[in-house]
Amino acid sequence: MSILIKNVEVISPDSSAGNGTFVRSGENTNIYIVGDRIVAIGKDDYPEADTIIDGTNMVALPGLVNAHTHAAMTLFRGMGDDLPLDEWLNNRIWPAEAKLTAEDVYWGVKLSLVEMIKSGTTAFADMYFFMEEAVRAVEEAGIRASLSIGMTPFDKDYEEILKESKNFVSKWNGAASGRILTMYGPHAPYTCPPEFLKAVALEAEKDGVGIHIHLAETAKEVEDMKEKYGGTPVELAAEAGLFNVHTLAAHCVHLTQQDIKLLAEGGVFVAHNPQSNLKLGSGVAPVPQMLAEGIPV
């Protein structure tokens, strides 16, 4: 199966120029695809293909990546507007999630994937539960994904929760012809005590996979963690050893200068979530300051 896209303008990242810089190919560029690989991009003539697409007056760009999702929560869209995160979770979302079935999660993810693909998103990083249903949806959709079970131990058995995640990580990492990668997903320092975070960090290091976590999303979270454990969420994550492996930290809204330094030194990738932060009134992340310190946002 071959595809030839003719007379299109290609916009692609300029890896030599640093973060956020793109280059344009100019009009009348051709893209030649064989199977699941782009084999040539340029203004040369290529062999006739099984499918020819006229790209005149169009642009082609790499697929977008949604770096932090709870895809099945498309089912809860519009639920609990005008509430801060703490009330939204405790009074609306967690009670509703307690009633979800595996089949609900499957269809919620499927809906989310349709919306992603229609908007040009070809990869996403998701943290939720019933994640084998997310695997099924991703396999069918042809999209790429980093998947993790969201771990919220509360009063549950730490070892049992870690065992479930470990089994998921080992079973599905590299699935769907390599389109699926797995990570450990401790929900956040306010739902995962320090000793649990330390255990997660050790398991992730053993298994050679990364960690996906929420950090410093609200001012309340930061104050609660300082009062309960004597440190900011970022400090607690660093002390637990999370930054010894590849870590994807969502939100990172309320950061001290020391937090930013720790994120930079730990090589942490930050997922910026402006719509979520504004919907819940959480605040505005210090993106310019993070970028200035070399943190990938």
As a residue count, the chain comes to: 297
Residue 17 pLDDT > 70, yes or no? no
The Cα–Cα gap between 33 and 158 comes to 48
The Cα–Cα gap between 60 and 7 comes to 10
Question: What is the reported pLDDT for 20?
Answer: 65
Domains of the chain, first to last: 2-60 (2.30.40.10), 64-292 (3.20.20.140)
- Retrieve residue 219's tokens: 């001012």
Per-residue pLDDT band at 150 (split at 50, 70, 90): very high
- Retrieve residue 135's tokens: 């695997």
For residue 232, the number of C-alpha atoms closer than 13 Å in the C-beta half-sphere is: 20
Give the mean pLDDT of 102-125: 98
Residue 211 pLDDT > 90, yes or no? yes
Give the mean pLDDT of 106-129: 98
Give the mean pLDDT of 250-273: 98
Amino acid identity, position 263: L
In 3D space, the residue among 134, 211, 125 whose CA is nearest the CA of residue 176 turns out to be: 134
Residue 142 CB neighbours (<10 A):
13
In 3D space, the residue among 170, 247, 183, 175 whose CA is nearest the CA of residue 215 turns out to be: 247
Question: What is the reported pLDDT for 43?
Answer: 85
The dihedral region occupied by 95, where left means phi > 0, alpha psi between -120 and 50, and beta the remainder, is alpha
Per-residue pLDDT band at 22 (split at 50, 70, 90): confident
- Please state, for a pLDDT cut of 90, what percent of the chain lies above it: 85
